Structure formats: structure tokens, C-alpha cells
Structure 1
Amino acid sequence: MPTNRRLDQAKRLLALAQTGLHYTTGVFDKERYEEIAAIAYEQIADIASMETAKVAELFAFESGYANPKLDVRCAVFDEAGRILLVREAADGLWSLPGGWADVGLSPADNAAKEVREESGYTVDIVRLLAAWDTARHPHPPSVFHIWKLVFLGEIVQTGDVIGVETDAVEFFELDALPPLSLGRIMPEQIRRLDALRRGTDVDFD
């Protein structure tokens, strides 16, 4: 069985166990769902070459009805058509400004906040460009099921980087992109975003 399919099945198994633990009131059912979750942890750990305890730690705060994680990003272009990218301190690779959505903010507010923190630029959010399910794109496999929203932003003010998750900021020509953090964004997606900003369409999965 292909690795990605095995991983998808393990994540689905874990989601069912998490949802079951949220709704069950029976002691024995709770034990069964916990056992299913433990099996899923082992499967994910085997596929991802991780320790089972590390996988369990990643999901330690996941509770309630299981939902995909929401990754919110912002595409910002300058007048020359170059794309704004930030270098992720975690892996030394480049990406669109963005990250996990924060509770209490709208998706657009999240996108603007991430640009401000990671690049120093204040932007107006113009519109939504894409709503992608990363499982339907050739991203590296992830232990999480992730939906990605990408907004178009326009710069209104410059400033200083105030976050700690990025360590460099630069505009790049689309045909001279730096090494990208492929779990976050892919070259073909950046090119697609450039095409989308020139029209009125929204990409969605």
C-alpha cells in the first residue's frame, strides 16, 4: 500500500478515535477509543520514522470533534511582480508569510497579522485567492490534515519584523525562487497565485 494512503488511513483512524473520545460517556468505549488512538500513533510513527511518544505529544492538545488544521497565508507582490517571501527559522527555507489560524481572529485578520509579524509589512487584505487541501497537492506527507487559505495582500506601510519564527525577508522574481519550505508552499502554487491575482477566480479543492 502506498505510504501516503497508509498515512491518510492512520490519520482518519486517529480522527475517529478523537471524535469518539469527545462524545462517549461509557468507560469501556473510552478504553476502546484510547486503544484505537494508540494504534494510530504507532502507525503514524512507523510511516513518519518518528517515536510513538513524539507523535502522541503532537496530538496531545487535539481534543473535541476532529477537524483539519487551518493554515492561513498571504501572497504579496510588489510593483515589479516579485513575490514577498520570508525565511522560516525552523528549517532555513522560504515561504509565504503565514501559519496556523489563531482563535479570535477572522481568516483575513490572521493573514494580515502574519505578514506584519513575519515581514514587518502592514497590508490590506484584498481578497481570497485559494482554498487548498494540502492532501490534494504534492506537498510532503504531514501527520495533520491541513487546509490552506491564501489571501492577496497589498502593502500600505513598512516596519520591523516583530515575530521570532522568521529570520529574513525578501522579494523574489517568480523565475528565481529560493529553496522553498515545501510543506508550506510549492513553486507551482506561487505561480498559480500570480495568475489568480491577475483575474477574479478563486482556486478551491
Structure 2
Amino acid sequence: MSISENLLNQVKQIKSLAEAGLVYNKENYDAERYEELRALALEMMSILSDLPVEQLTGFFLPETDYPTAKVDVRGLILNAEGEVLLVKETVDNKWTLPGGWADVGLTPTENVLKEIEEETGFKAEVKRLLAVLDKRNYAHPLQPHYVYKLCYLCEITAGDFAPNFDIGEVHWFALDALPELSEDRILEEQLSKLVAIAKGNEAVFSD
């Protein structure tokens, strides 16, 4: 992990502590200090991530409860040849596993099935949980959120591909012939790990 990544992780922790303080100290002298600490953390995140403070501020809703990690759900789907189904994001024209942020009010499995259907048009079923990954432990581009990834083995049951505003294409790829990946969302290392767990019927991996 680079010095910048280490610093960004520490700044995220500072921001989280400041927001926790704001939750429990809304109307006293300490609240002003927590606001200042949060603002300072955002300025430091801006320097480290090369994003303007205004854009970073837009990533976050005001904290009304104890701050926690965000949850990203992803579905690994394999065909009979062992190829992986990937979707092409229109935002960067790069490829990833179908998935996205987990919505409040849905279970993790409901979330991943919803994402698969929205992004591909396919209905699917969850076979099992493959891995719980902490994005901090991998070489993703720097980002403001602290994220856990829940990765599921899924199987298509019905449907046909339908392009949408998020996804332009879907395609099956062999691990030794992967396209350019959207590395904010998935890494080749992670794909290889997930496929190995799925094919080897290994126990759930957790960082």
C-alpha cells in the first residue's frame, strides 16, 4: 500500500470519528470542533484524491447516525466454459461484474439480484456467498468511501440482455482474455480469487 493510500485511509478514519462525534454532540462546544475536524478531513481527502472539496462533499449525506462502511454487492456468473459474465459501464467504457451499491430495505441477496437484472436484463438466483472484500486491501484507485464488497456466485435463470443508461454491453470472458477492467469496481486479482473459490467449492473468503 502506497503512502498516499495509507494517508487517505487515516483521513477516512478521522472523518468517521468527527461524524460520530457530531451524532452524539449536536449542541455543545465540541460540535464546533467536530465540524472543523470534518472540514479539515475533507480538505485532506481533496489533496490526496485530486478531487475538489465541493465534489467530495457531494458524495456524503449529512450524518444522522454512527458512520459505517458502505456496501457494494457483485454477482459472479459463469457459463459452461468457465467464462465470466462482465458488463461494460457507460461512465468509463470499462468492464466489471454486475452489481453496485446496496440499497436500504433490501437484503444483500435481493440487492445483487436487482443489480443483475437492472444491468443485464437477466433474472438470476444466488447460489452462495463467495467473499467479503475490504477495498482498502486491494489496489483500487483512491476514493473517499470506505467500502466492503459482498461477492456472490449467481446463475442466470431467464431473460435477455437489454442495454440501459448504465450498461452498454455484456459479454463472456475467459480469465486469460479479460478486457480493460473498471478498477474502481473490480480488479483482475479479485476476479481470479472469486473464480477459484467458485470452481473449487472453497469456503467463503473474508478479509
C-alpha separation in 1, matches of 2:83 and 2:118: 20
- The aligned counterpart of 2:35 is 34
Q: Deviations over 1:56-112 (max 9, x none)?
A: 221234442110000000000111111000011111110000000011111011111
C-alpha separation in 2, matches of 1:89 and 1:50: 21
* Unaligned stretches of 5+ residues in structure 2: none
Distance 1:102 1:159, change over 3 A: same
Letter paired with 2:107: S
Contact 2:117 2:123 in 1 (8 A): yes
* Unaligned stretches of 5+ residues in structure 1: none
TM-score, scaled to structure 2: 0.94
Pairing 1:160-175 to 2, within 5 Å after superposition: 160-161=161-162, 163-175=164-176
Pairing 1:44-123 to 2, within 5 Å after superposition: 44-123=45-124
C-alpha separation in 1, matches of 2:11 and 2:162: 39
- What SS does the corresponding residue of 1:70 show, helix, strand or coil? strand
- What SS does the corresponding residue of 1:193 show, helix, strand or coil? helix
Pairing 1:106-145 to 2, within 5 Å after superposition: 106-145=107-146
C-alpha separation in 2, matches of 1:84 and 1:38: 41
- The aligned counterpart of 2:205 is 203
Q: Post-superposition, which runs of at least 4 consecutive aligned residues in structure 1 deviate over 6 A? A: none
C-alpha separation in 2, matches of 1:184 and 1:63: 27
- The aligned counterpart of 2:186 is 185
How far apart are 1:52 and its partner, in Å? 1.5
Q: CA RMSD in A?
A: 1.5
Letter paired with 1:109: E
- The aligned counterpart of 2:16 is 15
C-alpha separation in 2, matches of 1:62 and 1:184: 25
C-alpha separation in 1, matches of 2:78 and 2:166: 21
Letter paired with 1:73: R
Count residues in correspondence.
205
Contact 2:132 2:149 in 1 (8 A): yes
Letter paired with 2:137: R
TM-score, scaled to structure 1: 0.95
Identity of paired residues, percent?
Answer: 38
- What SS does the corresponding residue of 2:176 show, helix, strand or coil? coil
How far apart are 1:120 and its partner, in Å? 1.3
